[in-house]
Structure 1
């Protein structure tokens, strides 16, 4: 007699599938990876590489910010606008990519997003003036906005429910890989080239994703069962569906969309405040050299990588909401501590970079699984793409405020707005259900 526990129905009619695939022989530390199967592992590699290079192309600008400001004669408000424009336009790109992923498939949408962000990152290196660079950076945001949501859904539909969190957490860790690669290249380029040329070379190296596009096109495909369900559903990619209020017969998705958008806004407002301004803070207010800044960022990025992997494990153990709440509190405390380290305590600044990077990244580990589980297959890309990237766009207000207040408050003092973002994320959890163990049907 089978001892596999039965599936349990959720309020929206889907099943948790408890035990459906949990008895797989693919157990152990990397059981989650073996359980994906050959096709799933190729999808994992494609999404991992796409997000790593997405990160790399994003960080070409924050790392070059000081050189750009000097070259074009920009103030803090104008440099902060680069991030705002990128993230605002990413909301459009993310929403569009989500709809495209539901209508033509996850892999095709992934190819479109990677190609878009690569082309316009390279174009930034040829910008003759501030206005042109701003436009190219905005267009880069179209691809940047869509890649994560599409890649996360692609892998989520291959993963078994019991370890979907750690699987998607591993995908999230690729952001730290791309960030670290960008810092290494930045350190070398700015050490050996004049700043006026170095920032252009940084953008030109953004052509790397072209190699990934060729491989993904040949080797990766959508999860067959999910793809079949998506194709058969006449509501696939229906943007209006994610704003439909609940009725007596159907719970609707409006409430989910509103609170998931608020969650994304808070977490990304806090994250991008740090990602955008910490390099400038270290160089302009702490007086570190290019090599010194790279050393401090190494601790921050190492903590981020460890945080993504640990957070992925905890989101399966504690649940999606508890993991997010835990690290929202710790991230807010970390920002306030980091920004108020007294002058001269550079060793403490170095050491605290690791836990700060750990906490601000661990909170992201549950996002891929949580947002995927909040929406049904037919509009999974649409819902996840819209909420995640709308959060990016609204959260872009935070680094912009830091930019405009940096001249009077100092960059360190203005970083407090990152902590406000994490407080919003914690509040948003009141309106969202726990989805750990949910089968994607």
Structure 2
């Protein structure tokens, strides 16, 4: 007898961007082999085993816009100057004071989706940072390194305080790069870093505007990204920063009293950034292709060809895509796998990973011993990737160098080993 033909998983494939089902997998028996379900048992008629695979595409990546609108400052620099005047004495002293500190601690309220959110941030001398966003019992973690900021919050945070409520599952509970639409947090190093502020103050005019900052007479230094309030009285300490954004968030500033405590929190967060999502990249995934899956109790390899759809112009330098692939059968997850790769100039990366879970092995063995039809299918999700695992060594080196300089008594946390963040929605191997 010839083998039964594959049984389709449904109707025609869905239009692009909608979940659907892919091509059926190979039926049993495979050429050149005699499957267990084909052997004669108890003298009865032979029964055949048919395993059918299907593929489902899940399109969830999207450009994320936090609910904090950016606005320009009212102190943009004017062109036409032919010489750069020497900075005033007060700004030089203020700059020296900032660069002598191990860091600055900020506290204030920002507006996200029309709701007040408490921001607490510890920023080191160079602009590394760790902190939290909190409101009504909902909290999200923040970490900043190499000029970029990343946020990690649960589904409630994403549904309530971002514009991506419908896609909360794509970014919840994983580190995600903060969009540039939130400059007060997205550009921590350049706006709130003590060294960056010192450089800004060096460009201040000799007679800046003055006003009270929390009851203290202060100079107000205006820039497009933030206004800085510096005490008029020596030693001209930084008092407040009003960042550009919805509601012009006002942050109080005080010297960082315990830098080692900040680094103990900062380093493990940086170490966990491998695989962090990049919402500025959007992909259209193709249907998963099954490779060496039927009759293979060791694992099942899935290959997905994706297309970069946003941005539409040239491929951004260093752009990467990450894949989460999951195999299910009868509504039960058999296992998942992940992969990532750079985006080539043709905008179409191919991502491939292998499910080797105990759930897959157990299911395939049971299918081989049970003649009949056994269906399984694959679901694919492709997101932009902000941080590759290979980047972590460089990032951690930056943290350790500054830590040694400002908190020499400290040592790297044993929790700070490099790890890769699991993509949301991934089910642990049974």
Instruction: Report the TM-score range of the alignment, normalised by the length of the smaller protein.
Output: under 0.3
Of structures 1 and 2, the larger Rg is shown by 2
Larger relative contact order (Cα-Cα within 8 Å, sequence gap ≥ 6): 1
Name the TM-score, length of structure 2 as normaliser.
0.25
Higher strand share: 2
Name the TM-score, length of structure 1 as normaliser.
0.25
